Amino acid sequence: MERIVLKHLSGSKVNQVEEFPLAHFKELTIGRDTTCAVKYDPNIDDLVGRVHARIECDTKDTSQFLIIDLSSRNGTYVNTRRISGPEKIKHGDVVQFGPGGPQFRFELEPQVEGAIRSTRSAVDVPGQVKATREAGVSGMASPGNSAVGQGISDSAIKNFLQEVGGESLEPRATVGKATVERMIAQSQTRNKKQTQRQFIIGGLSLLVVLALAVGIFVYRSQKQNENAINTKSDRKMTPADIANSYSKAVVFIEIGWKLINTETGKQMHHIYLPNVYSIKVKTDEKEKSLPIIRGGADYIPAYFRLQDGTIEPMLIDSDDAALLPQQRRSSEPIGNEPAGSGFLVSTDGFILTNRHVVAPWKDGYKFPPKAKYGVLVDGYMRLQVTKDGQPEVVEAPDDWVPSEDSMVKNKLRGGLEGKTDYLYITFQNTSNRIPAKLVRVSDTHDVAMIKIDLPESLPKTEVRDTYDTIMQGGAITVLGYPGESLPYVAEIEKKDPFPRKGKLTTIYGVTLSQGNIGRLVRTEDKTKVVANKRYSYLGDVYQLTINSTGEGNSGGPVFDEEGRVIAIFFLGSARMTYAVPIRYGIELMGAPSR
């Protein structure tokens, strides 16, 4: 017994399957509140309370589980029976929240050996309708009988009076017409009431039969849907099938951004100094100008060293940069224009990708080639020299995060933040750039979410968290837009008069790469070394055996053999590539996966 599996039978989560590894969960809260592990739609599933119920391990027997109703308004039902206190729940039990509310089947994987499913409650079925009772009056008397009133026999009247009066009465020798009419009216009223009662009972019986028929039909439909889902999940897809099914949901991303000081709203610049310094010649005590970096440019970047040894660029805002005397110093704006990949996870335009693709200011900054080497200065912009009197040359840091620069790290107001000049996505084999907006960014993993707004329903991928079941060696397929892949160049034909001439544009196509899960790199703490705990410089990642892709493919989906996205491609080199488990993308989407 390694995990709890909930198979949803009705409600907004119908046909969905959720898995909860017991290593991560001791109890499951169920409701419409965002903090619940099993979260129902707050608008559709309105019979479910905010925190409706809880499933927990039985402390007396850890192989057993209990379900507890948390004082919900509509109650909790196990196998159609409402529970009033902690109730044992077993493999195969059906749980429902409120009469007519959403249901799921509770399962354990693997099932506990010898476990017996709970006895199912029978459905109450009304008894058979009683046969029609014969009327108390036998009919008209035959000729020759005693002529009493309208010709009704004495024995018939006697029987009628016994039925109506409830006791044995001897009829009078002579009965008048009014008396007979009254007896007939009473008999007709009695028969009418019996007919109405029989009609009502028959109608109720028919409704019960119809309800049972509908219930059986719905149950069979759900079983067929479950079988279809299981059949689909068991069906392996070839890489060609995956590309044919999901390429339309993979997008090309372009972004242009700059670093600004949120307190002043000004763009930040990196200070550059002249590539020259003066030194006195011992022979004649005259000053001589020499280059700081031999073969370098006329201006080189200035860097600053913090007390802990960290190297950061010397920054200045755009107003101050404009006042720099050009003969003494210059500056270059912080920002760039990267590109990457992403994939749709909903039909209304939500897209998952990498954080470093759409929010580069929150990741390690890539300095331009001319800034690879620079000179070290102090806080007053004075050159720092080595023991032999030479200016100290340093290499640009590869781990500087613009939004976490020390100049704003301890300020209560203001800070350095990226501002996008543009953020576009493009579908494969099209030329239309569609504006997108940044929605959420993960603080712990290289994952981000953006959104586009279009009136039509969009194609999407299917994601599934297989973090706890994935195995080394599994076959994978990656889709995306690597930078080395050849694009098309096309001329857009103009249909309007302005401008008069068409223009050339680049059209990108999805590239497919195939390989395997080379290694599962798991970590418990990636920021520091903890005794008896493992950590990884890259965090939780899947190492891939794919080297046919690289920069530009960042943010692309990684599919398993069943066509489900299990990871997000984020780092590649000539020899190794890596992907972030989709678990962290699902968490960013707001759907708890653990």
* Residue pLDDT, tens place only, 106-143: 998 887 655 555 555 444 333 333 333 334 433 333 34
Residue 127 covered by a domain: no
> For residue 164, what are its two tokens?
């109506």
Whether residue 145 is contained in a domain is answered as no
**Residue 144 predicted with pLDDT over 70:** no
| Structure confidence by residue, pLDDT tens digits, 4-23 | 999 999 999 999 999 988 87
Half-sphere exposure of 220 (CA within 13 A, CB side): 6
Say if residue 365 is in the same domain as residue 414.
yes
- Are residues 547 and 512 part of one domain? yes
Residues spanned by the domain of 91: 3-109
Stretch 82-95: mean pLDDT, rounded?
A: 92
Same domain, 260 and 405: yes
The band of 585, judged by pLDDT with boundaries at 50, 70 and 90, is very high
102 in the same domain as 182: no
pLDDT tens per residue across span 28-48: 999 999 889 999 999 899 999
Q: What angle do CA 170, 174, 180 make, to 5 degrees?
A: 85
pLDDT band at residue 285 under the 50/70/90 scheme: low
Residue 485 is predicted with a pLDDT of 79
Are residues 406 and 485 located together in one domain of the fold? Answer: no
Q: Read off the pLDDT of residues 320-347 as tens digits, 9 standing for 90 and up.
A: 666 666 556 788 999 999 999 999 999 9
Decide if 444 is inside a domain.
no
Confidence at residue 150, expressed as pLDDT on a 0 to 100 scale: 41
Say whether pLDDT at 316 is over 50.
yes
Position of tokens 């976490």? 404
Within a domain: 514: yes
- For the segment 517-569, what is each residue's pLDDT rounded down to a tens digit? 999 987 754 444 444 555 556 778 999 998 877 788 999 999 999 999 999 99
Mean of per-residue pLDDT scores for the chain: 81
46, 163: one domain: no
Whether residues 227 and 256 share a domain: the answer is no
Same domain, 371 and 407: yes
pLDDT, greater one: 152 or 88: 88
Q: What angle do CA 542, 544, 549 make, to 5 degrees?
A: 125
Q: For residue 571, what pLDDT is reported?
A: 84
In a domain, 286, yes or no: yes
Lowest mean pLDDT among 140-144, 436-440, 505-509: 140-144
Rg (the chain; Cα; Å):
40
Residue 228 and residue 377 in one domain: no
Neighbours of 169 (CB within 10 A): 13
Q: Which of 151, 93, 97, 87 is nearest to 117 (CA)?
A: 93
Same domain for 224 and 267? no
User: Are the C-beta atoms of 164 and 190 separated by less than 8 Å?
Assistant: yes
